[in-house]
Amino acid sequence: MKKYFIILTLTCILPLFCACEKDKDDNPDTPELKTLDLQEKAVSLSIKGDAPFTSIVLTETGKAILTKAVEKTMAPATRAEIYVPEYIYGRYVVTGDVYTIYDDNNRFVCHLMLLRDEGVITSATIFLNSEVQEGTTYAVQQISNISDSDLTQDLCRNWNIRYTHITLDGAVKATKVFEAPEASSFNAFLAYAKEKAPQLDAELEEGMSITDIMFTQSGSFIVLFKNGKIFVGNWSWKNEKTGELSYSWEGGEKIYTYESGKATFTVETYKKEDFYTLTLSASVTDGGKTYNIAIAFNLEEK
């Protein structure tokens, strides 16, 4: 299980930018991005009490991520309490102070009415009935934005992966560029890694292709996969001037453990096109050999 997660981590969120096959450009132009129509309506809430959700994240691009309230269970070995998060992913629309949230199958989830005291959100009423009936009000804490800078606003979007650059160094040396649709496929990444290092003992379930990468100004980091997996975590700027950020995240199943690392979000040029590029890196020792894996995602706005 641990090796499974290590490989998943290394192929999902890791990389030093792979310079192979890249056009040299000391001053790439900033990619042109759309105006975020819902930026002023985006909000992240931590919900108190016995609400059906423990948190609600409404992104600048109109996406909704709700963390369901689930009971803690006991780990068999240690008898310690463990919490395995479950998520609902979808979208929202806004009418006045009421947010209507739908899941990814366009089914109604809830209405959310925000209540303010001197301009500060202090509570929220959740209506599980589509007719806005019998709502229950809960105390909430609004999560503040990390930054409102131009770079933060550029980062906080819904992204597709256009190209993925992979570098293996250490026990083996290899580089490869994947183009869409394989550019988002963990299954393709792992197959390549095992081709170059056959001794790697790891397997991935099918459908481990990223469909969306999202960041929010309040510090949420969301990765969605074709097979329905959702990873939700947190991010913050480590050095905003250089585009370096830190992240931490948990998977949605017991086999995933907490991980953290650093990444960069910078403009890079590939095939004469300028892309915002998410770059991450890590290494792992397996069977007495060390593998350094670097992956860089060239992103385009979805």
The residue assigned the tokens 């890791």 is: 14
Same domain, 170 and 123: no
Three-state DSSP state, 186 = helix
Q: Which of the four pLDDT bands, split at 50, 70 and 90, describes residue 141?
A: very high
Cα–Cα distance between 57 and 75 in angstroms, integer? Answer: 29
Tens digits of residue pLDDT in 32-65? 999 888 989 999 999 999 999 999 999 999 999 9
Same domain, 166 and 274: yes
Same domain, 133 and 271: no
Which of 93, 120, 143 is the last residue in one of the domains?
A: 143
Residue 5 has pLDDT above 80, yes or no: no
Cα–Cα distance between 221 and 233 in angstroms, integer? Answer: 5
Same domain, 66 and 19: no
In a domain, 150, yes or no: no
Same domain, 161 and 263: yes
Instruction: Give the number of domains in the chain.
Output: 2
Same domain, 60 and 135: yes
Cα–Cα distance between 5 and 78 in angstroms, integer? Answer: 21
In a domain, 102, yes or no: yes
Same domain, 166 and 284: yes
In a domain, 259, yes or no: yes
Which of 110, 143, 176 is the last residue in one of the domains?
A: 143
Cα–Cα distance between 208 and 9 in angstroms, integer? Answer: 12
Same domain, 10 and 81: no
Tens digits of residue pLDDT in 189-238? 888 877 877 766 667 788 889 999 999 999 998 889 998 888 888 899 99
Tens digits of residue pLDDT in 85-112? 788 999 999 998 899 999 999 999 999 9
Please give the pLDDT value at position 278.
Answer: 94
In a domain, 55, yes or no: yes
Measure the N-to-C terminal CA separation of the chain; round to a whole number of Å: 33
In a domain, 205, yes or no: yes
Query: What are the tokens at 295?
Result: 């992956």
Please give the pLDDT value at position 72.
Answer: 56
- How many CA atoms lie less than 13 Å away from 181 in the CB half-sphere? 8
188 DSSP 8-state letter: H
Closest CA to 68 of 123, 109, 26, 30: 109
Neighbouring C-beta atoms of residue 242, cutoff 10 Å? 11
In a domain, 38, yes or no: no
Same domain, 271 and 126: no
Instruction: Using DSSP bridges, classify how beta strands 63-68 and 87-95 pair: parallel, antiparallel or unpaired.
Output: antiparallel
* Residues making up the chain, counted from first to last: 302
Same domain, 103 and 181: no
* Contacts with 4 (C-beta within 8 Å, 6 or more apart), sequence order: 202, 203, 204, 255
* Contacts with 74 (C-beta within 8 Å, 6 or more apart), sequence order: 80, 81, 82
Residue 269 lies in domain: 2-33+157-301
